[in-house]
Every structure is written in structure tokens, then in C-alpha cells.
Structure 1
Amino acid sequence: MSEITIRRATAADSKRLTRLVRGSAAYRGPYAVMVDGYRVGGAYIEHHPVHVAVDADGRVLGFYALLLHEAELDLAFVADSAQGLGTGRLLMAHMRRVARAAGLTSVRVVAHPPAEEFYLRTGARRTGTVAASGRVHWDRPELTYDLTVPEDPALPAGALADAR
């Protein structure tokens, strides 16, 4: 895996993050309604802990957004070209560190159904199902990261920026 840096996103990242969301292959077909017209706005980025993974050339590989008051992972996307390379695992480890530093003991995830296995592999556990409603015409898995359990020591901490 090439060098990946995780840093706090800024409003200037808005267009790149929006393109990543709208271009995600995971949201084609029946799931397209979820990202149609979606925008990761500058105000959203400035208000919430949004962190972006970039490669040595500054290309955006993925990002996540954490809602601290709700203790919920709101967004998590990895570029199609960066999937399977460990980027998502690094982002979730970083998210857990940021959440712990903020005093959270758990983080809720309402997952895109095809992403459930990813969250399970990165340490979340299934806690329920969120019923279809509104624009979402399918049930979604609800998961939780328990932040009271120790982190995976095999994760390369040097690949992560500090959790601020």
C-alpha cells in the first residue's frame, strides 16, 4: 500500500468529496436514489469531524464524517479505485481514535446494505435493522463500534495522521 495520510477535511474538499459520493459504484442501480444530487457541503465539513484519506500525490482515496453529538458515523466512502487496499480499514481505525478522543464509548452506523460486511470486518457488531422510510426503500443494517475494547494492534498506526 502506498503512503496514505489522513487529515481533517476543509471546505475546499467539498467538490472532491461530493464527486466521490456521487461516483460510487456501490450506489448504482436501485441505490442511486441515495446519492442523486447529494452534496458534501463546505458548512457540513466545517461543522463536523470529516477526515479525508489522501495518497502521496494528494488524490482523495476516501473519507468519513462523524456526528459527535449523535455518536454516529454519518458518511464513509472509499473511492472505487482504492477499495481492497486497506484505505477503509485505516479510515475506520482513525474514526475510532477521533471518537475515543471526543469521549465517546460507542459509534452507531446505519449502513448501506452492501457495506455491512466491511463494517463487521473492521470491528462493528450488528445491533439491529432500520426499517425503510422516505427515499430509502430498503431496510438497512444497524451496527455499533464498541470503543471500550482495545484497538487492533496489527493496524499500522504510522499510516494515520493524529486524531484531531
Structure 2
Amino acid sequence: MTPNSRPAGAEEVRIRRATARDAKRLTKLMRRSRAYEGPYAPMIAGYRVGPDYIETHRVFLALGEDERLLGFYALVLSPPELDLMFVADAAQGLGIGRRMIEHLLGEARDAGLAAVRIVAHPPAEGFYLSVGAKRIGTVSANPPAVMWDRPEMVLPIG
């Protein structure tokens, strides 16, 4: 398969920089995520991705052929950290997360970063390990918003 080809049935995915006008869409995707139901719900309750956040950080969207929002991530440069990363529930398992990590690696490399810190949602730890992150510790719970410990990792920029 060539770099621009895709498996049968897979859709073209385009990643672009978010603009302030995307803020509501990103917040909606995040708040509807099944990954933050139940005991994890307090962490994103009331949280929004605002236009000011998008203008301050490197926020990127993964879009399908029909401009459907498949996911997004936010790279903070100082200190280097993957602050947010969400894949739409309907797009889980389609490689969108891996595509966004590949894109993040390019952005981080272009910014001259050696590594990016990730404080992961506990169920996402396996994904981050599978894309090359290394576990370096644990970030303790911070009630009332975060009631559980979270894995702390570093993603080396090759």
C-alpha cells in the first residue's frame, strides 16, 4: 500500500489546524465521548474547548471526506504536553488516533521538541504505549474533578 492509499472501505482523513470557529464542535465531541461516562464524567463536566484555548495552543482536527469531525488533539508547546486527544465514538478502531499521533510527532519535531508528556485517561494507557509512549510515573488524583490516579508517560520525538 502506498502512503496515500487506504484499505477498501476506509475513508480519506484530513488533519488541519483548528480555528476559533471549531470550538463548539470540539467541545461537543469531547462531552459526548463514551470514554468519560460513569465515574470519569466529573473530569469533563463543564469543561469546554474555547476559542481562546484554540488560539493559544496547537489544536488539530481529523476530518472525514464529508468534513465530519473524527477527532482532535491539542499540543501544548511549553512545557511540551499532549493536553487533549479525543476520537469520536463512531470512529474508534479506524486508526484515527494513530493518524493524529503521527501528525503530532511531525508538529513536535517541527517545533524542536525532544519529547511530549502525556497524562493519560487510564483506559487509554494501552493505546499510548502502543504508539511509542513510555510510562514514567503516576499523577495522583485531584478531587473533586479527577478522582483517580492517571498514568504519566513521555512520547519521544524521533
**TM value normalised by structure 2:** 0.92
Deviations 1:115-136 (A, max 9, x none): 1011011111111101111321
Deviations 1:21-55 (A, max 9, x none): 10000000000001111100011101110000000
Structure 2 gaps of 5+ residues are 1-9
Residue aligning to 2:3: none
Q: Does 1:122 align with 2:121?
A: no
Residue aligning to 2:75: 66
Q: Does 1:136 align with 2:136?
A: no
Partners of 1:84 and 1:112 in 2: how far apart?
17
Partners of 1:45 and 1:133 in 2: how far apart?
25
- Give the match's secondary structure for 1:85: coil
Structure with the bigger RCO (C-alpha within 8 Å, sep 6+) is 1
Percent identity among equivalent residues?
59
Q: Which runs of 4+ in 1 moved over 3 A?
A: none
Structure 1 vs Structure 2 CA RMSD:
0.7
Q: CA deviation at 1:140?
A: 0.1
One-letter amino acid of the counterpart of residue 41, structure 1: G
Partners of 1:69 and 1:52 in 2: how far apart?
21
Structure 1 gaps of 5+ residues are 149-164
Residue aligning to 2:49: 40
Deviation larger for 19-28 or 126-135: 126-135
